[in-house]
Structure formats: C-alpha cells, structure tokens
Amino acid sequence: MASYKKIPLKPFPNGWYVVAHAHEVPNGAVVTKRLVGKDILLYRTESGKLNVTEPYCPHMGAHLGHGGIIEGENIKCPFHHFCFDSKGDCTATGYGTKPSSRLKIPTFHFDEKNDLILVWFDEKNTAPSWFVPQEDWSEWTEVKFAEYNFNSHPQETSENSVDVGHFGIVHGYSGVETLHEMEAHEHYLYAKYAMHRLADFVGKKRLIRTEFHVNVHGLGYSFVKTDIPELGLETRHFVLPTPTDIGKLKLRIGVSIKKMKSFSKISPLLNILPNKLAHKLILKGAYKGYCHDVSMDFDIWKNKIYIDPPILAKGDGPVAQYRMWAQQFYYDDSMQPNYVPQEIV
C-alpha cells in the first residue's frame, strides 16, 4: 500500500458526500442542504436537469433557497427576479435589461448514483478524480434508510470498518474472522469479515453467521455487502456520513435485500404470503437489526476524542493502516482548523 505523509485531522476531508435522496429534488424543486459548514442549493429544472450551486444570488445576495423558483431551465431570484441557467450564468434581469457577464453563481461537481445525490468537496476546488460505482438494483428491494445527526467526523465513523476489536465488545458479535485483510487502492478500501450474531427474523431469534464485504470509497461513502448462507439471504448496506458543519455529522444508513424465490430457510410460513409482503417483512427485520447495531456506536462516537497516534494492541485490526490511507483526503497545507471534538458544544 502507498505511504502517505502524516498530518493532523481536519474537519472536512476531500471526497464525495451524499446530500440528498434523488426523490427529495423532483422536477421544479429548489432544496437547501448543509455541507462542510455552508448552505448549498439543489434544484431540478422543468426538464429534470439537476443542478447544485452556491445558494446566494450574485446580484444583491438573496438566498435562492428561500423564495427562488424554477422557470423552464432557469432559477429565478425572489429579490429582483434575476434568472440563472445551469452553468450559473445570468440570463435575464427583472427589468428587461442586459445582465452583466460578471453575474455568475458558482456551481459544484455532483453525481447521481444509486438514487442518491452526491456532491464533491475539495478544499482547493480541484475536479473529481474518481467516482462511486453505480450498482445494479434489478434483483433487489428498495433501500430502506434512516438518518441521524450528531457530533462526530466522517473519518471516525468510517474507521469502524476496520476496527475489528470493537465488533465483539460493542456489538456482541462472536467468532469474528478476517477473511480478507484490508486492501487499499487509491481512494478505495476493501476488507472482508465473518462473524456470528443473534438476529431476529420474523419474530424468531437465531444465532447466524454473516460474511461482510466492506467497500469504502473515500470517507463519505461505504457500501457493505453481506451474505447469510444459513438463511439464503443477501443484503446491501449503505453507511453515508456527511459533515454538515465543523464536528457535525449527518449519518444516513440504508439496507436492501436481494429478492428471493423461496423463504424456507428463514421461515416456511413466509412462503404462503404474497411475495411482495414476505420481502417487506424480511426487509423490516433487516432494517431494525441494522439500525440497532449502528446505534450501539452512537454514544462512543459522540463523546470520544481523536487520539493521534493511538496506542494500539494486538486485536485492534488495521487501524494504523486505515489512518495512513485516510490522510490522502486532506491537503498537507490545508487551511482548515484542526478537528477538536471535546471543544464542540
């Protein structure tokens, strides 16, 4: 694995962050979201073209997220009715006069993948050098999501993917195995584990063995695939931490299950139900278990401090390697203040 220069932890790592679900921004909608300490504007034109920009009108500073409307392929400011196209250029004033060429709204690099809207953050405004992958969802159920807001940092939450030691202690997993050691390629990190956990599927608790394929794309996008042969069940999980302000995190998690032809390994009773209802019940159980497992980390994330370097012990997992890998998402000459969670109110 490549070696990276050690630098202090900064609040906003460079990379892709999920800011909204695609359905939150339908055609003609104007939506304000929070990312890396400031508002950003998401809107779709009448034809369905998505745009992500700064929220302020360059004419006299009105916030387009408060009263701005879509007219055709333009967004119109509520203050003086200046209009802007998808490139951020002013196309008209409210007076019918020719707009200045200097009237331009800064835009962001964005992407839509897996029914999610991602925005690229780079402290020096460098263009994206990589993208998250689009998954094939043709054989999968909808993704059921939950959202949480708390004090933390995306590097801290993503570190759980390699913190093998906490799997048994915090989550109560047993028989933890590392099936594939952490492997890193530029922005991408992969590892594979297996463990036993007590699961409740359709009202019946069972100790089951689960294999986890962990795919981490930068510090804001993790995609975990699981296989539970005993139940004939495969699941997909999202872990999507987005830094909204210094020390503030919006964590989105989501789960989907692969569509099944038979439910006998889970419960033969499910086979007498309509296929759609059976999948809905299984997804509900998977969602409940996933939310429970992730929530077990909340108090630790909210109250811990960042120790660098950590004093590690055998059994921790590749935490040191992960932290070296994560340093690529910060600039050596970053002007951001250091992340000091114990001072956050």
How do residues 169-216 score in pLDDT, each as one tens digit? 999 899 999 999 999 999 999 999 999 988 766 666 778 899 999 999
Rounded-to-integer distance, Cα 138 and Cα 210, Å: 23
User: How far is the CA of 143 from the CAs of 83, 295, 297, in angstroms?
Assistant: 37, 18, 22
Residue 153: name the closest of 248, 17, 253, 295 by CA. 248
Domain with CATH 3.90.380.10 in the chain: 1-24+109-345
* Nearby residues of 8 by Cβ (< 8 Å), 6 or more positions away: 308, 338, 339
pLDDT, tens only, 205-250:
778 899 999 999 999 999 999 999 999 999 999 999 999 999 999 9
1-24+109-345: CATH topology: Naphthalene 1,2-dioxygenase Alpha Subunit; Chain A, domain 1 (3.90.380)
- Judged against a pLDDT cut of 50, whether residue 344 lies above it is answered with no
Question: In the chain, what is the greatest distance between 2 CA atoms, to the nearest angstrom?
Answer: 72
Entry pTM:
0.93
CB 266 within 8 A of CB 281: no
In the chain, CATH 2.102.10.10 sits at 25-108
CB of 249 closer than 8 Å to CB of 240: no
The topology (CATH level 3) of 25-108 is Rieske Iron-sulfur Protein (2.102.10)
- pLDDT tens digit sequence for 214-223: 999 999 999 9
